[in-house]
Amino acid sequence: MKTRYLQRMLIGLGLTMTLAVPWASAVDRYVAPNGTGGGTSWTDTHSNLIAMVALAGDNDTVYVTNNAKYYLTNQIIVRNAITVRSWGPGGILDPTNTIIDANIPGAATTNRHFILSNYWATVAGFTLTNGSDSSYGTNSGSGGSIVLQYGMVTNCIIMRNYVSNWNPSNFYQAGGGGIFLGGNTASSGGVWNCTISGNSATKLGGGILVYNGGPLTIANCTISDNTVQSGGGISAYMPSSVMISNCWIVSNYGSWYGGGIAELNAFVQCHNSFIMGNTAGTYSGGGFRMYGASGSFIRNCLIANNVSMGDLGNSGGGGEGGIAIQNCTIASNAAPSGAGGVLLDASINLDNTIIWGNSGSGVYSNWCIPSGTFAFTNCCTSPIVVSNGVSWVNTISNNPQFVSATDFRLQSASPCINAGTNETWMMGAKDLDGHQRIDHFGRQVDIGAYEYLAEGTLFVVH
């Protein structure tokens, strides 16, 4: 089992290996568009990907040659512990040139690409396009390209897929133009190193919808240009547990709220990610709208250039939330009616966070608080207003001195350098540039998403 786990992790990194796995014998199967054989080797390839996956048992690998487009007549259901992967020169994963298209030219209908329902199932190295789900029933109205109940999707390009229907009796599990993650309380797995772009859904999760189950992971992904009513990039809804890490969530659109991320009462931990250039329409949360379960947070993230177009008086261009915000930089966001930075609408703590240079029409451009109790600790924002329900601890209102209007790192004279408060999670943690959050010089964390790294020569004397 450990050997299988190692193989799976290496595939997730785009690497290849051959291992003798002790818990089951492996059979390799081979697919090529012009195959006429039984799929036993590259000289005996089979042309039908669906048939080869159906034959594969635990620990088998289905290899699919690159420089080809494969059309699906039906979705592929992966029930066993198998790997389905592309094969480029030298055995590399080649998602750019290995395309699985769910819409046969001239066909009246289309379908999604995969349903994964085994913890050890892996799909790796494809472009998955033109998938759709518009039906009712099991997993209906969910996952235009993929339904992932268990398993892993890695190194894929998931683009121009859609969900065009939804069931009002199962509102929270309807959506996910690109991917639906979860499905039952035992669901686990994740999406790694993928590009999820140009997908759409009717209600929830233009790119990804997370509902039910966990732990689920979305890591090292670019999620861009997806559209939906709520949660243009990602929607996460109760009951589910998801970690979002090292992602670019950019240029997504939620016509209601949550242009980048929309979440409600799920357990969500989002860290070391860029949430930029997203738009919310009627309501709030250009970058994010997050009201997570206890322990949820957004940490070490840059939230910039997002817009909330809502005109209802209270909106947050950068975000709207009721979860902990830690070591984030929230800058250059805008809202025509409300706070350009962040709308704080529950009892939360903000630690080591910069909220600066945002544009809004409300009383305060950087933040607004319609209700709740809040603690700003070692933050940098303006104005600092003493009022009921708001406490300020070591918070500064001086200009953080960003490098430029588009570069939110700190200049050498920034008052945010070594001005944060150290916390347990920072030991060994990295900032958005990969630098240690607690450096070897000041031994004190900086405020914001970036640590300032002084230029010069370091001499170590023994």
Cα angle for residues 194, 88, 61 (degrees, 5° grid): 80
With the CA atoms of 445, 447, 450 and 452 taken in that order, what torsion angle do they form, in degrees rounded to the nearest 10?
A: -60
Q: pLDDT band at 460, cuts 50/70/90?
A: very low
CA–CA gap between residue 17 and residue 8 (Å, rounded)? 10
pTM: 0.92
What's the Cα-to-Cα distance from 397 to each of 96, 338, 376, 400, rounded to whole Å? 48, 20, 12, 8
Answer whether residue 104 shows pLDDT above 60.
yes
pLDDT, tens only, 8-27: 545 555 544 444 444 457 89
CA–CA gap between residue 21 and residue 11 (Å, rounded)? 15
Question: Where are the domains positioned within the chain?
Answer: 1-190
Query: Mean of the per-residue pLDDT values for the chain?
Result: 88
CA–CA gap between residue 306 and residue 326 (Å, rounded)? 19
By the 8 A CB rule, do 177 and 199 touch?
Answer: yes
Mean pLDDT over 103-107 rounds to 76
Mean pLDDT over 422-444 rounds to 90
The percentage of residues in the chain with a pLDDT greater than 70, rounded to a whole number, is 87
By the 8 A CB rule, do 217 and 242 touch?
Answer: yes
Maximum CA pair distance of the chain?
A: 76
Give the per-residue pLDDT at 4.
45
pLDDT, tens only, 22-45: 445 789 999 999 999 999 999 999
**Helix and strand element counts for the chain (H, E):** 2, 42
pLDDT, tens only, 135-160: 544 445 789 999 999 999 999 999 99
| Preceding omega of 33 cis (within 30 degrees of 0) | no
Give the per-residue pLDDT at 458.
47
Give the per-residue pLDDT at 381.
95
Q: For residues 321 and 130, which has the higher predicted lDDT (pLDDT)?
A: 130
Question: Residue 34 corresponds to which tokens in the numbers above?
Answer: 């012009």
Mean pLDDT over 368-396 rounds to 85
Cα angle for residues 206, 186, 138 (degrees, 5° grid): 55
- For residue 156, the one-letter residue type is C
For residue 171, report the phi and psi dihedrals to the nearest 5 degrees.
-55, -45
Give the per-residue pLDDT at 238.
84
User: How many CA within 13 A on the CB side of residue 256?
Assistant: 14
Question: Residue 103 corresponds to which tokens in the numbers above?
Answer: 């819409």
Answer whether residue 3 shows pLDDT above 70.
no
The residue to which tokens 């630690």 are assigned: 351
Answer whether residue 325 shows pLDDT above 70.
yes
pLDDT, tens only, 48-91: 999 999 999 999 999 999 999 999 999 999 999 999 999 999 99
Q: pLDDT band at 109, cuts 50/70/90?
A: low
Q: For residues 397 and 385, which has the higher predicted lDDT (pLDDT)?
A: 397
Poorest-pLDDT segment among 172-186, 230-244, 422-436: 172-186
pLDDT, tens only, 122-131: 999 999 999 9
